[in-house]
Amino acid sequence: MSIGKEKLMAKQNIFLIGFMASGKSTVGEILAGKLQRKFFDTDKLIEGKAGLSIAQIFQEKGESHFREIEADTVKFVTNKNQAVIALGGGAILDSQNWQMIKSAGYTIYLQWDINLLVPRLMNDDSRPLISQRIKNLNKTEIIKLFNSRKNLYESADYSIKCFETDSPDQITNTIIKLLQLENEKNTCYSRT
């Protein structure tokens, strides 16, 4: 597939957003490779900064401490140029974060049916929002958490509908096609 990297939209960064387990990190890394851009993953940056895993930060310091480091990390990544960034599922909840993200590049929501994500999440110990409350957090509650964020996710510039049969590579190619269309649109505008 010819990507036409040099032409791919000048608008700065590409932010992948979405609920936990939607594949933002995997797709982000592949996308960055294909576009030859730098890749940042806010959760990885946070873990590096804290010297602790996300689960340990939640357990030892609490969610509010995690959200503080996350806000600093969002500031850091929004100052990047032409990068691909995978954001933690809750990074967009803070309105200041969201404003900074929106003005620093394209936001792309990896949109999954929540019923496909629930089984992935139920078996995952690394996600403290789920695992700390796992005994009480049943499917209905995960869906409730998702529904409380859904509108915000859907306010991204673009939503990519993802299906069970989609590989991360296929999702990446869909994003690239979308960005190429965006680039063509901008090229047209600049010629008139």
- Positions that interact with ligand S3P (CB under 6 A): 20, 24, 43, 54, 88-90, 127-129
Q: Is the Cβ of residue 68 or residue 184 nearer to ligand S3P in the bound state?
A: 68
Decide whether 4 or 119 has the Cβ nearer to ligand S3P: 119
Long-range own/partner contacts, residues 156-160 (CB < 8 A, 24 or more apart): 156/17, 156/107, 156/108, 156/109, 157/106, 157/107, 157/108, 158/106, 158/107, 158/108, 158/109, 159/108, 159/109, 159/111, 160/108, 160/109, 160/110, 160/111
Of the CA atoms within 13 Å of residue 68, those in its CB half-sphere come to: 8
Q: Which is nearer to ligand S3P, 20 or 35 (CB)?
A: 20
Residue 63 to residues 6, 54, 68, 163, Cα–Cα distance (Å):
40, 10, 9, 31
Smallest separation, CB 128 to ligand S3P (Å): 5
Helix, strand or coil for residue 189? helix
Work out how close the CB of 20 gets to ligand S3P at its nearest, in angstroms, rounded to a whole number.
4
Q: What's the closest the beta carbon of residue 76 comes to ligand S3P, in angstroms?
A: 15
Taking CA 146 as the corner, what is the angle to CA 130 and CA 38, rounded to the nearest 5 degrees?
Answer: 80
User: Closer to ligand S3P at the Cβ: 89 or 105?
Assistant: 89
Instruction: In angstroms, give the least distance from the CB of 74 to ligand S3P.
Output: 11
Nearer to ligand S3P, 3 or 122 (CB): 122
Distance of closest approach, residue 46 Cβ to ligand S3P, in angstroms:
7
Extract the tokens encoding 182. 């965006």
